[in-house]
Structure 1
Amino acid sequence: MSTEQAEYVSIADGVLTITIATTAAGTSMDFDGIIAGTTALKALGPEVGAVLLTGTGANFCAGGNVRGFAAATDRSAHIHALATTLHDFVRALDATPVPVVVGVQGWAAGAGMSLVCAADIALGGPATKLRPAYPGIGLSPDGGMSWTLPRVVGLGRAREILLTDAVLDAEEAVRLGLLSRLVADEDVRAEALTLARTLATGPRSTFATMKTLLAQSDSSTLSDQLDAERDAIAAAASTPAGQEGIDAFVEKRKPDYTKAN
């Protein structure tokens, strides 16, 4: 890992932490972090059991650097390049077999909200706010929001949120399923890291299968999904994680999945 990558990416206690926004540009998305994160995700090793996305400033991510958009000689080409880079990151996140956790302190706007939608579990605080922010600058969504948001909140609600550029407070975001739960504002980063560490010690093959089943459920018939679940649970029974989990239950002890991962 290069020095530049290490500024944005770290691995500790089974958690790959990726910093996607910094204070350098007012907590707008930091594309050095996005690029470093994509590289790390594509090279994901067996030592990683969870991914944590975080911002280092007052906000998780305030969206794209609009001043940078304005300063570009060719705004269309500039934004096309940024969206291509961001979408490589979103594809790498989507392909990640381990749980993806987001700690959403402050604002998650624009592409920052897109990354919240792309996570498996997102924690926020009472002061957390989400906003598409695209209509305000005359742009359409990127980062997958037009695909993920309807799958989280429903198509009708997604239309309203996007078209009205709705500001969602923390309680509304939890009600809609964009945030999993709330913790104290000052604890968002720490709680998200604790959750990621806990998930990293869990049954990784089980989590990978769960993510696969959930990803295909939207386009599967019930009958096809039942077949997929049957085949998956049968296969899981002969994996190290499945064997450890069943044996631990019978022996009335807590399973130790670290030796099964």
Structure 2
Amino acid sequence: MSVQVEIQDDGLARVALRRPEAGNAIDLATARGLLDAAHACERVAVRVVLLTGEGKSFCVGGDLREFAQLSGEVLEKHLGAVTGALHDALRVFAALDAPMVAAVQGAVAGAGIGLAAAADVTLAADNATFTAAYTGIGYAPDAGVSWTLPRLIGPKRALDLLLTNRRLPVAEAASIGLVSRVVAADQLTAEAVRTAEALREGPTAAFGVTRRLVAAGLTSGLGTHLDRESRALAAAATSAVGREGVAAFLGKRAPNFTGVTPNH
């Protein structure tokens, strides 16, 4: 099984890439496994997703050994199937209310960058390095890399990475906004779990609205977006989640967001 998904009763979904011997390279089975994992998270309305990669590297990108065995129309069709499943997985994860936390270590390349960038909170081990890699082998980007990178680090920096394929050290990745923060490699898993558990206790519906507002704000005018924010705030304030949040604040107690039904 190249992707393992474990959905806990408390709403924390653990999604793990499990091809450590191949650097968690994405072949067709892995892409389909990610899509199955995304649908599993969607079906049970999880509260947070924790994405990890087993072994020394988070994900080295596409499985070039698999691709090299094919050519012509067969390769074209195969890559269409791989990217189709991978991209559908990214769409499903993006549409969830639940935020995603990614914990990355070692080599993060190609589609691995796309997975890391798709997370709302990306924790990187101090041994992580980032390489776009696509144009280095004559390929074009996938996994949303040409969409997410310009939005995270700006078009100029994105093109620098995509065209030169230089290896980006983790300190620079953090300084330009590609990752959220850097932690010691031996603390990565523990810190990622702590972060995911904290988000699990939060207002999932409000997280979903906030994620969508941030995404929409990148492509809409200020006036349009202010109207969108106004509607979203009013809807949140009148929901059970919003009422619990205010009651907890005024009552000087911790909110119990896990005990309310979001849409009532």
Per the shorter chain, which TM-score range? over 0.9
The Cα offsets for residues 195-224 of structure 1, whole Å up to 9 and x where unpaired, read as: 112111100111011011111101111111
Q: Does 1:10 align with 2:6?
A: yes
Q: Equivalent residue for 1:40?
A: 37
Deviation at 1:242, TM superposition (A): 0.7
**Distance in 2 of aligned mates of 1:21 and 1:145:** 22
| Structure 2, unaligned runs of 5 or more | none
Q: Does 1:62 align with 2:64?
A: no
**Distance in 1 of aligned mates of 2:24 and 2:114:** 15
What is the identity, as a one-letter code, of the residue corresponding to 1:197? E
Q: Equivalent residue for 2:20?
A: 23
Q: Equivalent residue for 1:209?
A: 209
The Cα offsets for residues 90-111 of structure 1, whole Å up to 9 and x where unpaired, read as: 1112212210110001111011
- 1:129-144 equivalences in 2 (<5 Å): 129-144=129-144
**Distance in 1 of aligned mates of 2:18 and 2:186:** 18
Residues 34 and 86, structure 2, Cα contact 8 Å, conserved in 1: no
- Structure 1 pair 42/27, CA: closer, same or farther in 2 (3 Å)? closer
Residues 8 and 18, structure 1, Cα contact 8 Å, conserved in 2: yes
Q: Which is worse superposed, 7-16 or 25-34?
A: 25-34
What is the TM-score when the length of structure 2 is the normalising length?
A: 0.91
What is the identity, as a one-letter code, of the residue corresponding to 1:9? V
**Distance in 1 of aligned mates of 2:145 and 2:194:** 27
Q: Equivalent residue for 1:52?
A: 50
SS of match in other structure, 1:229: helix
Q: Does 1:259 align with 2:250?
A: no
SS of match in other structure, 2:122: strand
- Structure 1 pair 47/225, CA: closer, same or farther in 2 (3 Å)? closer
What is the identity, as a one-letter code, of the residue corresponding to 1:120? D
Residues 9 and 33, structure 1, Cα contact 8 Å, conserved in 2: no
What is the root-mean-square deviation in Å for CA atoms of aligned residues? 1.8
**Distance in 2 of aligned mates of 1:87 and 1:20:** 16
SS of match in other structure, 2:97: coil
What is the identity, as a one-letter code, of the residue corresponding to 1:39? D
Deviation at 1:137, TM superposition (A): 1.5
Q: Equivalent residue for 1:110?
A: 110
SS of match in other structure, 1:54: strand
Residues 59 and 109, structure 2, Cα contact 8 Å, conserved in 1: yes
- 1:1-261 equivalences in 2 (<5 Å): 8-12=4-8, 13-29=10-26, 31-43=28-40, 44-46=42-44, 48-73=46-71, 74-261=74-261
Deviation at 1:31, TM superposition (A): 4.2
- Structure 1 pair 45/75, CA: closer, same or farther in 2 (3 Å)? closer
Residues 54 and 102, structure 1, Cα contact 8 Å, conserved in 2: yes
SS of match in other structure, 2:85: helix
**Distance in 1 of aligned mates of 2:153 and 2:122:** 14
The Cα offsets for residues 19-76 of structure 1, whole Å up to 9 and x where unpaired, read as: 2352242431254343233223234245510111111111110111111111124333
Paired positions, count: 257
- Structure 1 pair 8/182, CA: closer, same or farther in 2 (3 Å)? same
